[in-house]
Structure 1
Amino acid sequence: MSRKISRLAEGWWDYTTLDDQIHRDAAKLSVKDIEQLSRPGFQVVLHDTLESLYLAEALEYINAWKQSTPSNPVGICGPIGPTEQLPLVAQLVNDLEISLEHAHFWGMDEWYENGKEVDETHPLSFARANRELLFDRIKPQFRMPDSNIHYPGAGNLDAYTRSFDEIRCAVMQGGQGDVKHWAFNDPFKREGNYVDAPPSPDEYRQLSARIVDLHPITLMQNARTSGGGYVVGVPMQALTVGPRETWKAEKVSIWQAGNHDNAFGMRLTAFMISKGIEDTSVPMSLLASHPQVEFHYYRHALKDVATEMH
C-alpha cells in the first residue's frame, strides 16, 4: 500500500509521509523527556548557554586534530551550518599554539551548478566560508596545508571517498536541516522505484559522496538562513558526503542551537534515533544504527511544540 503524499512537496519523500503516531509521540516530548532519550550509542547533551554549546563544538576540532601524527593522520569533517564555532576553533589553535601540519579537515558538502562545484566567488560558497571564518584566521605557523583540506568535487568524488580510508575521521559534525538531513543527504524524489515507498535504510546507507538533487524544503531553508529569502539564488543541486563515509567516522555529533530546525523537528529525529525507527524520508533517523552519535542542543531552543498565534 502506498504511503501518504507529502504535505510540503508532492513529488518528494519527507517527514510528513511518516505514520501520524510517530509525529504525535515526538511532539509531546518535554525537555526532560528529550534528556532521557540517551541510550548506548546515542547521547543527548543539553547546553544551558550558546557559549557552552559552540565552545564544546569548537573543542571537538581541537581534540581531533591533537591526535594526528605523521604516521597516523586524523581529521574532522565539518559543516557550514552551524558556523559560529569556526572562529573559536581558530582562536583556540592560535592561543594554544597547536600545529596543524599533520591534521586534516573534510568539508562535508558544496553547491553544484553548471556541471561543477561552485568556486569561492559564489556568494554561498562553503569553501570560502570555511576559509574566511576559520583557516585564514589561523596564524601562518600553525596552519593546515592546503593538501590536507578535502572537499567533494565533481571530478574527485572517488578520491574524496577513498580519503576516509586513508585518514582516520575522529568525528563528523553536522547540523540538522528542516528536511531532517545531515550534510545534503536529503530524502529522495517520489519517482521510479520509489513511487510507493522511499529507499530502504540499507539501500540509503550504501550511498557514498555524490551529486544530489535538493529537496524544496532545503532550498527554502538556505534561502531563509543565507539569502534573505532569495530562493532563486540557491543552487538546486549539491555535492555531499554520504552515509558510506559517515559510517567511517568514529563519532557523529549534531549541533542544534535552534537556528536551522524547529522545536518539533529537533524532537522528531532524536525520538526516532533513540527508538531505532529508521525511515529514509527522515535521513537523520538512519543514524540510529551508527555506533556513536551525539545530539547537542541549546536547551532553551527546544521550547514546546504548541500552537500559538502571534
Structure 2
Amino acid sequence: MNFVQTVQGSLLENFYPAGWNMEAIDKCCSNPPETIGERQPFWNEAFQLISCNEVEELDVKMGHEIAWQIRQSKLEGRNVAFILPVGPMGMYKWAVYFLKEWNIDCSHVYGFNMDEWSDAEGRTLPPDNKGSFQYAMEQAFYGPLGELTVPVNQRHFATLDSLPTYAAKITNLKAEGAELITVFGIGRMMHIAFWEPHFGAEFTSDEEWSKQTHRIGAQLHPLTIEQNAITSFKSRTTLVPCRANTIGPGLFLQSDKVIGGCDGALGRGMQWQGLSLWTTLRYGPDRWLPSTYMPTLPGKLFYLNELAGPLEADVN
C-alpha cells in the first residue's frame, strides 16, 4: 500500500503538478545508495557528483569551488557572472575565507541573486529586513569580504525593477568574454531558484519553456512554502510569503558552469532532499521537474551521503 495505490479520490489527487509521473519518480528513488554516482546518458560529460560525509565538509567544498572560480577568472583576466542563491548558505563563509587567504579582490565579479520574496505585483521586502534574500547576501558574502568585495553597482537583486534587466546584462557580459556560473540548491519540488514545476503547464513545449528568463510575483507551490518554513523560518509558516520574483531557465540554462549543493538533512535520520536529489540525477530533463536540467550542464553537485538513502521507511 503506497501513494500511487491510494492517491485517487484523496486530498492529494490534484495537489502535485499535473506533469509529474509519480511511478517514474519512485523508480528514481528505489536505486541502491552506492549507485547514485553512476553516470547517466543525459549527464553532461563535465558534470561531476561529489559526496560529502557531513554538512561542514559540503560547506567547505562548495565555498572553495566558488572562490576557485573567482580566482581563476581573475588570473585569466576576465569577468565572471554568478547567479547566486540564498540556500544553501554555509559555503559563503568559506568562499570569503579562501578569497581573503589568496587576497583575491572581486572587482571583476558580477552577482545576480536568483530570487526574492515578493507580493503579487513583484514588490519585495526592504533590503534591511532580516527575511529578505538581499539582507542575507550582504551579511553572508558581500559584507564579510571587506575591501575585496564585489562593487555595489555589480550586485544585482531580484527586485521588480532589477530582475527584468538580468537577461540583457548577462548577455552583454558573456559577449565580452565573461563566464556565467549558477550556484544552486534543489528544492523539495525540484525547482531551481523559485522556478516552480507547475509553470510547465503554461507552455506547449520544452523549447518555449526554456526561453523564459524570469517571472515577477510567481505563485509558489505549497510544499515550497513548507520547505522554507522548516529550513528558514523555524517552522513558522505564517512568516513565509506565498510569492517570489525569480529567474527562469532562460538564464540558468545559459550557464557555462554550475555549482550545486544538497544538504537537506534534518537530524535524527530525517531528511527532506533525498527524493529531490535522486529525481534530479535519474529522471532525465523535463520541464515539469526543473532541476533535472542541471546534470546536463558542466559543473559540480555536492551532496550529503545520507541523502542517497536508502529512501525507505525508518522505524528507529
Report the TM-score, using the length of structure 1 for normalisation. 0.84
Q: Secondary structure at the match of 2:198?
A: coil
TM-superposition CA deviations, 1:159-217 (whole Å, max 9, x none): 21112112234420111111111111112269xx65xxx75322221111222111111
| Map of 2:281 onto structure 1 | 270
Out of 53, 60, 65, which is 1:48 matched to? 53
Following superposition, the deviation at residue 14 of structure 1 comes to 6.4
Q: Secondary structure at the match of 1:173?
A: strand
| Map of 1:96 onto structure 2 | 102
Out of 21, 42, 49, which is 1:18 matched to? 21
Q: Percent identity?
A: 19
Following superposition, the deviation at residue 74 of structure 1 comes to 1.0
Distance 1:184 1:14, change over 3 A: farther
Alpha carbons 2:156, 2:162 under 8 Å: kept: no
1:92-131, aligned counterparts within 5 Å? 92-113=98-119, 115=121, 116-131=123-138
Alpha carbons 1:210, 1:242 under 8 Å: kept: yes
Distance 1:137 1:148, change over 3 A: same
Alpha carbons 1:75, 1:171 under 8 Å: kept: yes
Distance 1:63 1:75, change over 3 A: farther
Distance 1:302 1:221, change over 3 A: same
Matched, 1:86 2:92: yes
Distance 1:144 1:234, change over 3 A: same
Distance 2:101 2:83 in 1: 22
Distance 1:199 1:238, change over 3 A: farther
User: Given residue 131 of structure 1, which amino acid in structure 2 is its aligned partner?
Assistant: E
Distance 1:13 1:293, change over 3 A: farther
TM-superposition CA deviations, 1:110-160 (whole Å, max 9, x none): 111263122223332111111111111122x21221011112221133321
Distance 1:269 1:164, change over 3 A: same
1:133-212, aligned counterparts within 5 Å? 133-139=140-146, 141-167=147-173, 168-188=178-198, 200-211=205-216, 212=218
Matched, 1:234 2:240: yes
Distance 2:204 2:287 in 1: 6
Distance 1:245 1:48 in 2: 32
Q: Secondary structure at the match of 1:172?
A: strand
Alpha carbons 1:100, 1:142 under 8 Å: kept: yes
Comparing 251-260 with 65-74, which one deviates more in the overlay?
65-74
Following superposition, the deviation at residue 47 of structure 1 comes to 2.2
Alpha carbons 1:46, 1:298 under 8 Å: kept: yes
Give unmatched runs, 5+ long, in structure 1: none
Q: Secondary structure at the match of 1:134?
A: helix
TM-superposition CA deviations, 1:228-261 (whole Å, max 9, x none): 2221221111111211111221012321122474
| Map of 1:280 onto structure 2 | 287
Give unmatched runs, 5+ long, in structure 2: 1-6, 266-270
User: Given residue 18 of structure 1, which amino acid in structure 2 is its aligned partner?
Assistant: N
Following superposition, the deviation at residue 43 of structure 1 comes to 2.5
TM-superposition CA deviations, 1:16-53 (whole Å, max 9, x none): x3151x13421221222111135425332212343332
CA RMSD, 1 decimal: 2.7
Report the TM-score, using the length of structure 2 for normalisation. 0.83
TM-superposition CA deviations, 1:96-123 (whole Å, max 9, x none): 2111122222211111126312222333
Distance 1:8 1:199, change over 3 A: farther
Distance 1:242 1:102, change over 3 A: same
Alpha carbons 1:74, 1:103 under 8 Å: kept: yes
Q: Secondary structure at the match of 1:45?
A: strand
Distance 1:92 1:230, change over 3 A: same
